[in-house]
Amino acid sequence: MDEAPPVARVRASGSELVVSALGFGGAAIGGLFEAVAERTALDTVTRALELGVTYLDTAPHYGLGISERRIGQALRSARLARDSYVLSTKVGRLLRPLRPGERAPSEGFATSEPLRRVFDFSRDGIRRSLEESLARLGLDRVDIVYLHDPDEHEDEVYATGYRALAELRSEGLVRAIGVGMNQSEMLARFVRRFDLDVVLIAGRYSLLDQGALDELLPACLERDVGVVVGGAFNSGLLADPDADAHFDYAEAPRELVDRARRIREVCTAHGVELPAAALQFPRAHPAVVSVVVGARSVQEIEENAHSFAAPIPSAMWAELQDTGLLDPGVPVP
């Protein structure tokens, strides 16, 4: 499948960013759940770019810097014009050397890097985080910077975090700013209070969980904030509910496994593969500008691109709604 995914626009200070409607999420090549060989990771990023997947998202958190280094290396090797792709990373976690005798929690990543994650949403911490990300990437700029997972740090976002991001934007060091989280309630508060360009919501707008629908997505439409949807597979459950599936980075509950299988049965009856439905569902909402999905091999990114473009009959979406597997009011493609 070599047809480029369609593009969408993200409001940015003084201009607009054009992002591919299918984006590349960098957690998998950073070793989420299992290690990925460096050559495999680089080939995967390169193939994504060839397929027209030109919005790439990463973070220091992903493999303790491994994802950023690999994406940066692949982009430099591709020798693409800088404006031909959009790159985002995240701030809020600094990577620091382990203390003697200390062992850092894996937080789901298979890595042996001698580093620990330290939350820091101060002005200096955010600026250091971006500088260190640029060094790992080997690039002179990123396009979008997100505050990353400030779930336990909401007061710090109000006190210092947002102001530091807005400063980076006003200085022209980044083109767009936002917040990336796995919950929608706090994101909705940020959208209403701050002048954000984009948010990244992971796992809360999928075939299994539409928690972002009530507050976050309407607020983004009202405030002209683009929405990037991550976690469309809900950590793997909507990719293959028969495998040792995860949901929200942990073992999937039995009731959700059963629901995913029922959704798959409807898809199969209409000649549609479950991953195609999972990837295409979020893009139907008018606030969504990109659906970001990870891949740990060339085969996976090719399958994702194929799924994103696969034809899906409207009758399938209608049956999902008629059977209660999707709410009748949810936008569908």
- In angstroms, the CA 213 to CA 207 distance is 12
Q: Which helix (H) or strand (E) is 93 found in, with range? A: strand 93-97
CA distance 290 to 275: 16
Of 118, 121, 111, 116, give the one whose Cα is nearest residue 145.
121
Burial of 119 (0-12, 13-18, 19+ CB in 10 A): middle
Of the candidates 55, 62, 146, 162, the residue annotated as catalytic is 62
State the pTM of this model: 0.95
Q: Residue 6 has what pLDDT?
A: 73
- Structural domain 7-322, CATH architecture: Alpha-Beta Barrel (3.20)
Distances in whole angstroms, Cα of residue 221 to Cα of each of 185, 214, 224: 15, 12, 5
From CA 180, how far away is CA 87, in angstroms rounded? 14
Question: Are 197 and 203 contacting, i.e. CB atoms less than 8 angstroms apart?
Answer: no
Answer yes or no: 146 catalytic.
no
Q: What are the backbone dihedrals phi and psi of residue 86, each rounded to the nearest 5 degrees, phi first?
A: -120, 130
Contact criterion met (CB below 8 Å) for 179 and 200 = yes
One pLDDT digit (tens) per residue for the chain, 333 residues = 445 567 777 876 656 899 999 999 999 999 998 999 999 999 999 999 999 999 999 999 999 999 999 999 999 999 999 999 999 999 999 999 999 989 888 899 999 899 999 999 999 999 999 999 999 999 999 999 999 999 999 999 999 999 999 999 999 999 999 999 999 999 999 999 999 999 999 999 999 999 999 999 999 999 999 999 999 998 888 988 987 677 777 778 888 999 999 999 999 999 999 999 999 999 999 999 999 999 999 999 999 999 999 999 999 999 999 999 999 999 999
- Contact residues for 27 (Cβ-Cβ < 8 A; gap 6+): 59, 62, 63, 67, 294
Alpha-carbon radius of gyration of the chain = 19
Q: Distance from first CA to last CA of the chain, Å, rounded?
A: 20
